Amino acid sequence: MLYKAVVFCQQFNMEELIKKTATEVVDLLKAGEVSPQELIDASENRIREVEGEVNAMPTLCFDRARAHAARLEKEDRSEWGERHLYGLPIAIKDLTPVKDVRWTSGSPIFENRVPDFSDLMVEQLEARGGIVVGKSNTPEFGAGGQTFNEVFGTTRNPWNLNRTVGGSSGGAAAALATGEVWLAQGSDLGGSLRTPASFTGVVGLRPSPKRVAHGPSPLPFALNSVEGPMARNVTDAALFLDMMAGSHRRDPGSLPAPARSYRDSLKNIPKFRKVAYSPDLGQCPIDPEVAEICEKAAMEFASFCEGVEEDCFDLSEADMIFQVLRAQQFAAAHEPNLRTYRDKLKPEMIWNIEKGLKLTGSEIGEAQRAQGVLYHKVTDFFDEYDVLLAPAAIVPAFDHRLRYIEELNGIKFDNYMSWLALPYLLTVTSCPVACIPCGYTKSGLPVGLQIMAPNAREDIALQVAFAFEREHDYAARVPLDPRPGA
């Protein structure tokens, strides 16, 4: 079946295409009313228009993308089925290898690295019709909730170019909010899918560990880092997760894709049981305006559930768990870089690696035991509630010249990660967490709300998120055209 390029030219221009959702564009692709090549042109044109202001996608690969599109157009479309993107352009985070495309991980150490292989996840996305048009910016090795590095510089927030997009999937979020691509892959250890989503008014979903197979990884048994989807709305996030999910023998323990697609699970939203809301997870200072916006949004969930109650499981040990297990992972992954390239690493990376190298077996054992106790508390909690709601960040997007938040409400943080506690305290539960926009500050910056569901129940997180989203127009408010800051 040939693409109906003439129909496309009569019906759509590039500006109209970038405003459409990923789901809408995939439907056009299925119908043959637009071709992958034309979408690549639209993406390239949009990047040319806005990239100088936001710096979201510093590495582009349009020749490679067009070659992939040419191969797709020769395939038998009748065999593609539901779980296929039909030639939709997507962005891949610069922490993830894409064959023959520059892969820096945001570090001067790998400034000129070009891999001869792709991540398993990328291979699957490309096999399912996703066309990689570029790599999104990230902080060095994904460390820190602010997207800047010595290779490509700082990514700026299209809502206000003086503000940060957060991190570490900050380039992915900015690329979505400006219409450079329709879907963007990200990853999450301490909130890297959720913080940028909150700061840019898009949707980020941290899946359960091993829901999305990737690798080959030097640490294939690590469970706290995950790959996940970012999109402009919940339906698009569900669509992208359908394309990403699945097991692979090279990723031990990876989970099979569910029999029912995530997108299909949004067709009949059930009446939910009780929903819990915590304004601070019992542990975090929070900006008063953010707290007010999130509480107001949480109370609105009462319209489609049995009730909203302020409640949370005990997270008093979660900070210790996260800090220890993160440091252990950083030491395992980056000690060779510290030994060989110490002078090229940013100070925060050095601190985190050295923290891991100083850990004792007793400290690691204590953290692992405490995580086990916490998980059992979480499972008991979900016997009573369908989901837990909480703010996604303690502040709205801040000045992009700041490396991180050092103090809030008179509380000083003792390391560069502590301001990210709202998302990372939920990381150690091993449960899926969606982040959706839920309101705006008086200065017009978006605020995100986390929706945490039981382990391996991404469908519940997406259903609850969709039930809220369909009553609001937040997903349609992304700026597309970057706004200068005051």
Active site residues: 93, 168, 192
* C-alpha gyration radius of the chain: 21
Name the one residue in this structure whose structure tokens are 């953010």. 290
419 DSSP 8-state letter: G
**Residue 448: its H or E element:** strand 446-452
Closest CA to 182 of 243, 227, 245, 141: 243
- Taking the mean position of all CA atoms in its chain, how far away is CA 152? 20
List of residues 6+ apart from 243 with CB closer than 8 A: 83, 84, 85, 124, 125, 128, 130
204 DSSP 8-state letter: E
Strands 272-277 and 411-412 come out as: unpaired
d(CA 170, CA 188): 11
Which three-class secondary structure state does DSSP give residue 36? Answer: helix
**Residue 229: its H or E element:** strand 226-231
Tally of residues, the chain: 486
Which three-class secondary structure state does DSSP give residue 64? Answer: helix
Interhelix angle 318-341/361-381, nearest 10 degrees: 140
Structure-block tokens of residue 206: 């941290």
Residue type, 300: E
d(CA 486, CA 477): 20
Closest CA to 481 of 166, 29, 46: 46
Are 444 and 160 in contact, with CB atoms under 8 Å apart? yes
Does the N-terminal peptide bond of residue 187 adopt cis geometry, omega within 30 degrees of 0?
Answer: no
Are 141 and 106 in contact, with CB atoms under 8 Å apart? yes
Residue 135: beta bridge partners?
59, 92
Structure-block tokens of residue 448: 């995100």
Are 398 and 163 in contact, with CB atoms under 8 Å apart? yes
Residue type, 73: E
**Residue 130: its H or E element:** strand 130-136
d(CA 224, CA 367): 13
H helices of 110-159, in order, are 120-127
Structure-block tokens of residue 297: 């949004």
413 DSSP 8-state letter: P
